[in-house]
Amino acid sequence: MVTKQYPVIWLQGAGCTGCSVSLLNAVSPRIQNLLLDELVPGQQLSLIFHATIMAGQGEPVIRVLKDAQQNRKGGYILVVEGAIPTAEGGRYGSVGEMDGQEITIKQSVAELGRNALLTIAVGTCAAFGGIPAAKPNPTLCKGVKDLFNEERIDTPVVNLPGCPLHPEWFTGTISVILFSGADALQLDDLARPTLFYGKLVHENCPRRADFDKGKFAQKLGDPGCLYQLGCKGHYANADCPLRQWNNGLNWCVKAGSPCLACVEPEFPDNTSPLYEKLTFEDIK
Ligand code: SF4
Ligand code: SF4
C-alpha cells in the first residue's frame, strides 16, 4: 500500500517556542512516532520545515517554502506557532532571506496560508495574539485568523490555544484529521476542537466541592478553591483537570496555581491581574 504523506510546514512568529517544546515532550504518541510512523495506517505526516529542529539553513530551506507554495497547492498543512507582527509591513518578524530580500513571517503566513489544505494555529499567541499582542503591542501582533480575515484568505483555521498548548491537543487533532478528515473536527465558535476545549475547567476541577461550599484558599498553598486568589477556571474552556499535563502527572490547580484562562482570547490583558479575583463580567 502506498503511504499518503501530508507535508507539514511549521512557521514560528512572535513567541517563546514553548509550544514546540511542549510537543517535543509528548509521551503518547511520542514526537518520533508522530513524525516517522504512520499514525494512521497508510497516512503519515512529513515535516518539511521547522526552524527550531531542522538541520538546514539559509536559502535552501527558504526554497522549500517557495516550492510548497508553488507546487503543492492545497496539499500541505501549515502550522503556525507564535503571533504575527504586522506593524510596518511585518518587519518585526522574519523567516529568512531570499536573493537579499527579507521574507517576513507576515508574508509567509499569508502566502503559505492561502495555498494550504488547512492551517493549525498552535498556542494562544498564534490563535489570538496572546502575550506578544498584550498592551501596548507596539509590533501590532495578531493571531492567524485575524491576519487571514484582513488578507481575505479563506483557508480553514483550527485554533489550538494554550500557553503552551498541551501536546495531546495537537496529536489528537492531527489524528482526527488523518482518520476522518478535517471536516470531522467539531469546532466551537473560536475554531477550537470541542474534543479538548468543550468544557469549563471549573466543571471538572477537583476543588469544585470547596467552591460550592464556600471554602476558599486565602493564600497560595492553602487547601480550598483558588477563586479568591485569581482562579479563572470559571472562564477557561479546556480539559486540563481531566487530561492533566506531563503525561497525566499534574496540572495548574493541582499544583496550587490558579487557572489563568490561558486558552482564552482575553488572556493575558483581560485576565489580569492574574492573581486577583475576577468575575466572568470583569474578564469579558
Ligand atoms: S480552583 Fe478554580 S477551577 Fe477549581 S473550583 Fe475553584 S475556581 Fe473553579
Ligand atoms: S488550567 Fe488554565 S491556565 Fe492551566 S493550562 Fe489549563 S487553561 Fe491554561
152-207 pLDDT, tens digit per residue, is 999 999 999 999 999 999 999 999 998 898 899 999 999 999 999 999 999 999 99
Task: For residue 36, report the distance from its CA to the centre of ligand 2, in Å.
Answer: 30
Ranges of residues in the chain whose predicted pLDDT is under 70 = 1
Coil vs helix vs strand at 95: strand
What is residue 244's predicted lDDT score, i.e. its pLDDT? 97
The C-alpha angle 204, 205, 206, rounded to 5 degrees, equals: 115
Instruction: Supply the residue whose CA is at minimum distance from atom 6 of ligand 2.
Output: 240
What is residue 35's predicted lDDT score, i.e. its pLDDT? 81
Sign of the C-alpha dihedral computed for residues 228, 261, 198 and 246 taken in this order: negative
Torsion (CA) 72, 73, 76, 79 in degrees, nearest 10: 130
What is residue 160's predicted lDDT score, i.e. its pLDDT? 98
Cell 474534543, residue?
195
Task: For residue 262, report the distance from its CA to the centre of ligand 2, in Å.
Answer: 6
Counting Cα atoms < 13 Å in the Cβ hemisphere of 214 gives 0
Q: State the Cα–Cα distance between residues 14 and 12, nearest whole angstrom.
A: 7
Question: In the structure grid, which three cell numbers stand for residue 26, read together?
Answer: 509528548
Cell 473536527, residue?
185
Q: State the Cα–Cα distance between residues 173 and 117, nearest whole angstrom.
A: 15
Q: Which ligand is nearest to the CA of 227?
A: 1
Q: Which ligand is nearest to the CA of 207?
A: 1
Q: pLDDT tens digits, residue range 37-59?
A: 887 888 889 999 999 999 999 99
| List of domains in the chain | 4-196 (3.40.50.700), 199-284 (4.10.480.10)
